[in-house]
Chains A and B, each alone.
Chain A
Amino acid sequence: MLNSLMLFVGITLMYSTPLVFAALGGVVSERSGVTNIGIEGMMTIGAVTGATVGYYSGSAWAGFFAAGLAGGVIALLHAFASITCKADQTISGIAINLIGPGVALFVCRLLFDGATMSLPVPHKIPKVFGSLNSKAFQNLNVDVTVVIAFVLAVFIWFFLYKTKWGLHIRAVGEHPAAADTMGLNVYKIRYICVLVSGILAGLGGASMTLAIIPQFTPTAISGQGFIALAAVIFGKWTPHGAYGACLLFGAAQALTVTLGGGRFAVPSSILAMLPYLITIMILILFVGKSSAPKASGQPYEKDAR
């Protein structure tokens, strides 16, 4: 029984980690007033970068950080379109979701002999407790990325609510005109937040291809970006809320796995539906009306006064 529970916890943490990185990125971007629908595309770029650099360099951490950088670069496209060109942020995000996987597969084919899968990385992200012999705690021996994700969530919470930069970010997202009149540079703050959100999404993608599956495949990132977006909305645009939502999704997935051991006569497809059905149920019962940062999704026009 204890074993099942630990298995459940272990799988929850594992599944939720890529989501956490991406969702935290989503929170930061939205809080500054820029909608980021392109998380999926940024994660995919991060996934392929992580796996590729991880393979060729032999170091998982090199891959991890490179993935962050790659995500950041793609995010700059979104930032340029949304902030400088004042384009429709939704369309820009969707464009990123189309370009990201396209570039990712393109690069993969180029660097891995025309294959759409990268070769497995020689060294994955290490586990927290190293190579553990204990059978009892085997399931709790999670990847270091799980811990990093948690630490990031706490850090971002602290940053947003306790520091002056967090105050600036939130002001820019709620009332950019007020922030502008107080001398804050709305454009600069938004650029930085979108960049951070891209970096985090990239890290999320890499935590998939460097820890969970040790390589990049066309289905490595299939929907996680959208689930992360859902987690941001579900968690009411707060880092702690988003973290909790990601754990919830991860737990629902874990439930599917542990229930699907053949013990219950439920078809696997129906089981696979569970996380999503549960989410909708919870939404109806608890969440109600969503309340995004007031200026989210609207380009800031200095002269529109």
Chain B
Amino acid sequence: MDKAIKILKKPLTMTLIAVFFGFIVAGIILAAAGYPPVHSLAVLFDGVFSSPKHISNVIIKSTPIILTGIGVAFAFKTGLFNIGAEGQFIMGCVASTVVGILFDFPPVIQIPLVVLAGVAAGALYGGIAGFLKAKFGIHEVLTSIMLNWIALYFSNYICTLNRFHKPDTIGTYPINRSGYTMILGNYKTTEAGKAALAQNEFLRSTVLKTDVNVGIIIAVILAVFIWFLLYKTAKGFELRAVGFNKSAAEFSGIYVNRNILHSMLISGAICGLAASLYITGNSPHGIATLAAFENTGFNGLSVCLIAASSPIGCIFAGLLFGGLIYGGQSLQYEVGAPSEIINIVIGVIVFFVALTRIIPPLVDRFSKGGKKHA
């Protein structure tokens, strides 16, 4: 009985329950709208797992939201709601693109330069919201919403500048090749490379056909690093203390305002990293004028919630999210069901994640009877 209780209380169980219900509800909606539910789910599954190319694409598409998810999760752990992940991501993209176009050093310098530019931009942008909260007490949700829009329009502005604007398009030039972080990026564009890679079926469908890049490796390393920072270091201890109870943290000598600022800087930096890895690793290696948000930041928020703010969990939640979005395209193509069903699935999963939060207290109540030791 005790073991069962322990399992019931684990966040992973809750997430799995939530995912399960998400699919159930999706099945019901599909059936109600006249699409075969089981077949649709099979198509979805196929669309993700049936070929290395698909799997590769899912991993590639999941990488940015895994990272923004980790960024948002970090902020949550320290008591802050970083709804500005979207804006920080955009600013990271802008900085990486600008630096990637303006400079052209050899890769060993260019890549770190471009990546750091993105990280710094994201950090500074997140720092603005953190500063306004620490210094003036202004709610970070409010400032972040404003900053998201400002970032969007700033990005569009950069796209219009002559130095960056690619003629006959709505976007910028790609960054210089020296900044690419794709795997075998240069090799696969040469004739010899194409021929060699085409010989191996696996390599052909992954490396040649998709934008395989180092992003996912960095994402996993970062997840572990953030987990370590939060739970194994004194700094992480202080940040979490501030997140759980500002008053007690302050009373015990922790510098609360400083930590709020640091938290937003780090959170923004992670989103900036997501951006620079995205720009350097994926075509078109540049930014374009946006009519609306592309939602990398907001999706990161969903990923974080599904993962219950666990940095490692964000890897899996991000892959789930990416898989659903990518598979949704097959769904539309093969079954004709609107791909928005995927948004509904994700929304329902998050909804059930919210509901499942009440399970641990309920379990506690019924097992121990709320008995406190005298």
Contacts and interface: CB of A to CB of B under 8 A. Distances in A.
A229 B141 contact: yes
A226 interface: yes
9 contacts: A41-B347, A94-B301, A98-B302, A98-B347, A104-B340, A223-B293, A233-B142, A273-B153, A283-B138
B354 interface: yes
Contact of A277 (B150, B346, B355): B150
A284 interface: yes
User: On chain A, which size bracket covers the interface?
Assistant: 35 or more
A290 B137 contact: yes
B340 A106 contact: yes
A210 interface: no
Interface stretch (B46-54, B154-162, B253-261): B154-162
Given A92-B354, A95-B351, A269-B153, A219 B292 contact: yes
B354 A102 contact: no
A44 to B, nearest CB: 11
Contact of A103 (B137, B147, B154, B344): B344
B164 to A, nearest CB: 13
Interface residues of B, number: 43
Nearest to B132: A284
Given A88-B357, A288-B136, A290-B137, A280 B143 contact: yes
Given A109-B338, A276-B146, A233 B141 contact: yes
A287 B156 CA distance: 30
B149 A91 contact: no
Nearest to B342: A102
B143 A283 contact: yes
A230 interface: yes
Interface of A: 41, 77, 81, 85-88, 90-92, 94-106, 109-110, 114, 219, 222-223, 226-227, 229-230, 233-234, 267, 269-270, 272-273, 275-277, 279-280, 283-284, 287-290
A34 B189 CA distance: 56
Contact of B338 (A88, A90, A110, A267): A110
Contacts of B29: 106
A94 B132 CA distance: 24
A81 B149 contact: no
A269 B153 CA distance: 5
Nearest to A269: B157
Nearest to A271: B153
Contacts of A223: 145, 149, 293
B363 interface: no
B137 A288 contact: yes
A276 B147 contact: yes
Given A81-B355, A284-B132, A284-B138, 13 more contacts: A94-B305, A97-B347, A99-B343, A99-B351, A110-B33, A110-B338, A219-B291, A219-B292, A223-B149, A230-B142, A233-B142, A269-B160, A283-B136
Interface in B315-355: 338, 340-344, 346-348, 350-351, 353-355
Contacts of B147: 276, 280
A106 B344 contact: yes
Closest 7 CB pairs of A and B: A102-B343, A98-B347, A99-B347, A95-B351, A269-B157, A289-B137, A102-B344
A94 B302 contact: yes
A280 B146 contact: yes
Contacts of A85: 354-355, 358
A227 B29 CA distance: 31
Contact of B149 (A94, A233, A276): A276
A227 B142 CA distance: 9
Contacts of A279: 146
B39 interface: no
Contacts of B338: 105-106, 109-110, 114
A280 B142 CA distance: 9
